[in-house]
Amino acid sequence: MYCTACGKALGENDRYCPQCGKANAPGEGGPRFPGQTTRPPLRRAMTNKKIAGVCSGLARHFSMDVTLLRVLFIVGLLLHGLTLLAYVILWIAMPRDDYPMARVQTA
């Protein structure tokens, strides 16, 4: 795990960064418990988008292929049209991820 403020490596059970003193909230900086995996935050991806970045953000969050998710959205649109409503709601509700690479910290 790494501190999200200064980038210093943290121990497995550290609650505070020894360098800057920032509290390490659960879910930040990597897994907190054995077997726990972390997912990227649910945000609209602005780097790999076609319309609004909803499918790209969902694919990144759920570790799916973005093309497969786009095809599923189109098939759902053709079958009953509810995916259009879901897409618009997610477009409004999901925050933008303007700087996805800025969060990556190297040790």
**Rounded mean pLDDT, 17-41:** 61
Question: What is d(CA 6, CA 24) in angstroms, rounded to the nearest whole number?
Answer: 12
Question: What is d(CA 64, CA 52) in angstroms, rounded to the nearest whole number?
Answer: 18
DSSP 41-99: ---EESSS-SSSSHHHHHHHHTT--HHHHHHHHHHHHHHTSHHHHHHHHHHHHSPEES-
**Greater model confidence, 81 or 101:** 81
* 53 and 92 belong to one structural domain: yes
**Greater model confidence, 5 or 65:** 65
Amino acid 47: pLDDT:
79
What is the token pair recorded at 94?
């999901």
* 95 and 52 belong to one structural domain: yes
* 51 and 4 belong to one structural domain: no
Residues 6+ apart with CB under 8 A from 77: 83, 84
* 57 and 30 belong to one structural domain: no
pLDDT at 103 over 60: no
Domain assignment of residue 107, yes or no: no
State which residues form the domain around 54: 44-100
What is the token pair recorded at 2?
């790494």
Instruction: State the total domains in the chain.
Output: 2
40-99 pLDDT tens trace: 778 888 777 888 888 888 888 888 898 998 999 999 999 988 888 988 998 899 888 876
pLDDT at 11 over 80: no
pLDDT at 9 over 60: yes
* 21 and 56 belong to one structural domain: no
